[in-house]
Structure 1
């Protein structure tokens, strides 16, 4: 620091805070404009599904359609969902991503504020007489601080804020997906239990029938063909049982991964078979189609579009001049003993106006890249809306068809049960052959399995509708 600066008069000290306040005022004037989401009419017009749900309400809903606690009626499922929300690793990753995005937003916002530091400097250099002179400086320093007159830093902060919003919505989407996956895995495990019980019962019945056929064949009352047919049915039942046991183990492992821990093998309460109504409630009708615009994936795409607009504005601002302030203030003395004595205060302030004239097309390339990213974000936003209506329409269409299919299969099962009962009576009286009895038993087993699978599909469709409505 020069001696002329060291001898600056004290009354000029008032200019330093005034210049800093003026810079803060100018920097605060540059803010990103309020952003509004583009209308969804274009995306809805291009969607290949209806844009209104059946019996849609007139007012637009801004809240989620319904929480998962309202849909899940089984205490067993409620416990597993609660466990997954507390221990699922995907949710931990999503929460960490939100924290990281929030920290990045804070770091980006900090670039709009001056960086002030404190330091003690010592230097030795020749003075105007050619003699070596010491200069000791202690005070505060203002690093290069850009006055955001054209909103470049403000738009970068806006982009970081939108990214934080997108990450928060991604966390909601992950939570929704985990809840739906836990429900589907739990229902699949319940179906495995009931199918295994059916398979064991069928195997025991066929083994008992096999013993009777073997006795009849040894006595000459049954043919070798009937015996081989019964042996084939027993082997088929054993193979089905092994397949279902493997499927049950795999479904248990899948549920444990979702829960973040071992599956507590709590027995289901009485009356909670898959065919009962103590699992999932039906999604109420009359919801407004506006709830689909509040889905986390749609809102995430909307936030990404907001970030893309802010990045374009920041890229355009890079073509304009930049103004930076630097300065320092403190005590200056040629000796350490006089560094903190009165009369040795000095300060310096400087402003720099810079405009990039040639950069090889770097700024133009950054602008074109931001514009291309905006086009992609717009397409992702429209696709998210279309996917939301597509998934909802599929789930609504499946609600009635799965119910009709299950009811038809239940009628078929009733007919198969009656056929098996009558065939058994006729076989005991010698009016029906063993092959007829075997065929009746085979048809009944297939009908029982079909009803369970249809009921599982119906419940999974309720889960899909819950997820599509961003519950």
Structure 2
């Protein structure tokens, strides 16, 4: 019978401690359509691949970025980028806060030693009164003010801290995903600007030759001063474009160095736009909306929602009694030599309870605040899902027309080149006037620039879609 009573006394606090005042967490429904599909997309969207998609959020960035120089720059950025280091430090801060909060669920055991010196008078039958000194020594080990978590207040606070830690981990993953996409875009921007610089230099040479030819014809009285000035404007425009492109390339290099956290080696920087793809292109044409749950920013929003849910439980538990326990086991004696002698041991247990009666609305206000915070976190989570859906939809919509645009720009460039060769030959033989040749040169210049822009848009669209579906974590 005594054992049964002891068992019941031991089990009762555990049963009570199982109470949890937090609402049961239910993930909100996704406030977006079930599928995210590129409108008007039929067949391989990029015109280069067929069959099922091979790229998903689980595809490692090292497999997605197939250009070795770009991959090298991304790895350098992951090793040295300061924003990513800040995210790592934030993880350690959240981990430490969770550790502190979790420790409050367990009793803190400490050792205490003390000594008291007393000198006080005492009565004596043979003397009028003398003083005596008493030295009292004690040593104990015990628990100080440990809260018995009957209603889950401490447990929910610990759970909230844990969810905040998980959110910081996801924030770091989101920072990595964003960094990979940002580095890839910056690298492609520099590649496009280098290509535009090369085109401007080539056209400056072509415009220069035309200018010299026009000046020679003007000297012979064949061409007019107007034609010389028109040739001069095209030549000077190319010179201006070279200066502007040179500045952009330098700024692109600076931007990449900042993202990488170090000065990048020249061999990893692009000298022009690559002829081959720099990323995998077989990305999906349609995606289920549940895929968005893989995005680290959405996962972080859900962890913060779970933390807010746990905080409601902690706020509810504040309406109920808070029981704490202080206990000690030790030894006490008069005189140091008898401190651990037989009969000097003692023990003490001091339970206490605190039940709020009149708090003038403090607990009610805290509960309303926790509930309002949860509602805000629900809206934040739903907005994160909608934002992710929109980013994927935008990338898919852009991808749906990318192949046609790139093919049209390539055809336009080829036609402009052919037209220029024909007009130049006809001008030199005197069949066409100078203005036809000059217009053909300008058209080639514009078509070359537009074709580079189309290639850049296609490559960055692949990067953006990969980022939008939550790739880049491995």
Q: Which runs of 5+ in 2 are unaligned?
A: 1-5, 42-55, 124-131
How has the CA–CA distance of structure 1 residues 128 and 112 changed in structure 2, closer, same or farther, with 3 Å as cutoff? farther
- Counterpart of 1:445 in structure 2 is 445
- The 5 A counterparts of 1:352-431 are 352-431=352-431
Residues 3-62 of structure 1, C-alpha deviations (whole Å, 9 max, x = no match): xxxxxxxxxxxxxx9999679746753568796442424x126xxxx634479xxxxxxx
Which has the larger displacement, 442-451 or 89-98? Answer: 89-98
- Counterpart of 1:91 in structure 2 is 84
How many residues were matched structurally? 443
In the alignment, structure 1 residue 170 sits paired with structure 2 residue 182: no
- Counterpart of 2:216 in structure 1 is 215
**How far off its partner does 1:250 sit?**
0.9
How has the CA–CA distance of structure 1 residues 422 and 438 changed in structure 2, closer, same or farther, with 3 Å as cutoff? same
In the alignment, structure 1 residue 282 sits paired with structure 2 residue 275: no
**How far off its partner does 1:223 sit?**
0.9
How has the CA–CA distance of structure 1 residues 183 and 33 changed in structure 2, closer, same or farther, with 3 Å as cutoff? same
Q: State whether residues 315 and 366 of structure 1, in contact with CA within 8 Å, keep that contact through their aligned partners in structure 2.
A: yes
How has the CA–CA distance of structure 1 residues 18 and 128 changed in structure 2, closer, same or farther, with 3 Å as cutoff? farther
- Counterpart of 1:233 in structure 2 is 234
User: What is the DSSP-based 3-state SS (H/G/I as helix, E as strand, rest coil) of the residue aligned with 2:74?
Assistant: helix
- Give distance in 2, aligned partners of 1:329 and 1:18: 22
Which has the larger displacement, 229-238 or 150-159? Answer: 229-238
- Give distance in 2, aligned partners of 1:267 and 1:117: 58
**How far off its partner does 1:117 sit?**
1.1
How has the CA–CA distance of structure 1 residues 286 and 393 changed in structure 2, closer, same or farther, with 3 Å as cutoff? closer
- Give distance in 1, aligned partners of 2:306 and 2:260: 35
- Give distance in 2, aligned partners of 1:214 and 1:35: 85
- Counterpart of 2:49 in structure 1 is none
Residues 72-126 of structure 1, C-alpha deviations (whole Å, 9 max, x = no match): 1111111111111111111111111112111111110100111111121123468
Q: State whether residues 323 and 353 of structure 1, in contact with CA within 8 Å, keep that contact through their aligned partners in structure 2.
A: yes
- Give distance in 2, aligned partners of 1:324 and 1:19: 20
The correspondence for 2:18, drawn from 29, 50, 54, is 29
- The 5 A counterparts of 1:131-142 are 133-142=134-143
User: What is the DSSP-based 3-state SS (H/G/I as helix, E as strand, rest coil) of the residue aligned with 1:266?
Assistant: helix
- Give distance in 1, aligned partners of 2:324 and 2:258: 54
- Counterpart of 2:351 in structure 1 is 351
- Give distance in 2, aligned partners of 1:32 and 1:81: 47
How has the CA–CA distance of structure 1 residues 133 and 20 changed in structure 2, closer, same or farther, with 3 Å as cutoff? farther
- Give distance in 1, aligned partners of 2:104 and 2:220: 96
- Counterpart of 1:463 in structure 2 is 463
- Give distance in 2, aligned partners of 1:377 and 1:75: 41
**How far off its partner does 1:289 sit?**
3.8
Q: State whether residues 416 and 440 of structure 1, in contact with CA within 8 Å, keep that contact through their aligned partners in structure 2.
A: yes
Q: Which runs of 5+ in 1 are unaligned?
A: 1-16, 56-62
- Counterpart of 2:27 in structure 1 is 38
Which has the larger displacement, 221-230 or 126-135? Answer: 126-135
Cα RMSD for the two superposed structures: 2.8
Which has the larger displacement, 322-331 or 210-219? Answer: 210-219
- The 5 A counterparts of 1:290-305 are 290-305=290-305
**How far off its partner does 1:359 sit?**
2.6
Q: State whether residues 65 and 291 of structure 1, in contact with CA within 8 Å, keep that contact through their aligned partners in structure 2.
A: no
- Give distance in 1, aligned partners of 2:122 and 2:157: 51
Residues 246-281 of structure 1, C-alpha deviations (whole Å, 9 max, x = no match): 1111111111111111122117899x8445334443
How has the CA–CA distance of structure 1 residues 346 and 161 changed in structure 2, closer, same or farther, with 3 Å as cutoff? same
**Taking structure 2 as the reference length, what is the TM-score of the superposition?**
0.86
**Taking structure 1 as the reference length, what is the TM-score of the superposition?**
0.87
**How far off its partner does 1:467 sit?**
0.7
- Counterpart of 2:312 in structure 1 is 312
- Counterpart of 1:262 in structure 2 is 263
- Counterpart of 1:11 in structure 2 is none
Q: State whether residues 159 and 308 of structure 1, in contact with CA within 8 Å, keep that contact through their aligned partners in structure 2.
A: yes
- Counterpart of 2:46 in structure 1 is none
Which has the larger displacement, 288-297 or 105-114? Answer: 288-297
